[in-house]
Structures are given as structure tokens and as C-alpha cells.
Amino acid sequence: MELKVKKLHKNAKIPKYIYKGDVGFDLSSAHDYNIKPDRMEMVKTGLAFKLPSYYEMTVRQRSGLSRMFPNYIAIGIGTIDRGYIGEIMIPVINNRKDNKSFVIKVGDRIAQGVISSILIPNIIEVDELMPTERGSQGFGSTGL
């Protein structure tokens, strides 16, 4: 399988897997940002991808940044569909409690991309769903 990547900006970094067997590759900023507290910026990677049929890319937080800046990616996890070939942008929010700016420099690794195969089921409306042991019990149904 091939993942086609196009550089849209001279500062863009083509992602690579660091260690053999890694699932995610780093996505880096193509620009400098100084994100003020309680503000959000769409951080541009300067990259566009052409995903193969029946694959998607999930954009996730990097574990190292998540430790210092919990939930810094404004939407948590984002899905890039195979039909989207525009620039990958990461919605980054500064939720620091110390009133300092979240500074991002060109080349800083800000997120991870994970490529996954997907199934496309036929969606069928039904009048009833087969019962399960869990039923409709939702959040917290297995205890805390």
C-alpha cells in the first residue's frame, strides 16, 4: 500500500515512522504560532494526503504534549476521509492555566496520523434491535 503525500508549503515535513512497527507518524507545524490562553488556532501542516480506497487517517494527540497540555487538540480526535485532499490542519487550543501562550515553531511535532482500514456497511433502518446483555445502559454502566 502507498500513502501519497504532497507538500503544500516549503516548511512542510514529510512524515515518517520513527520506529519499526510504529502505528502513528508525527504531523508537524509548517508555521510559527503564538496561541494565547483560551484561544484556538488551526495549525497548518503544509501537507495534503491521498488515502487509498477503504482507508482513513485519524489525527490524534501526541502523548508527550498531552502530558504538558491535556486536551490541546480542540476536537480530540479527528478523521480524515479518503475523499479529502486539502491541507491537514490541526485545531489546537491553549488551555493552560498559567496564562502563558502556547508557542509552536516551524517543525514542531504537534499531532500523530494513524492510517486504518475501514469497512463501509450498508445502512439499514429496522424497527427493532436484537437485545443484548448491556441493553441501552450507557456511561458508567460497568462501574467507576
Q: Which residues contact 127 (CB under 8 A, 6 or more apart)?
A: none
Does residue 7 sit within a domain?
Answer: no
- Across all residues in the chain, what is the average pLDDT? 89
72: domain range?
A: 21-117
- Rounded mean pLDDT of 81-97? 91
Does residue 100 sit within a domain?
Answer: yes
- Per-residue pLDDT at 122 exceeds 80: yes
- Per-residue pLDDT at 125 exceeds 70: yes
> Bigger pLDDT: 104 or 138?
104
Does residue 126 sit within a domain?
Answer: no
User: In which band, very low, low, confident or very high, does the pLDDT at 69 lie, cut at 50, 70 and 90?
Assistant: low
- Per-residue pLDDT at 123 exceeds 80: yes
Distance CA(91)–CA(97), nearest Å, equals 19
Cell of 127: 424497527
- Under DSSP, the state recorded for 97 is S
**Which pTM value belongs to this model?**
0.83
Q: How many domains does the chain have?
A: 1
- Per-residue pLDDT at 56 exceeds 90: yes
Q: What pLDDT score does 97 carry?
A: 79
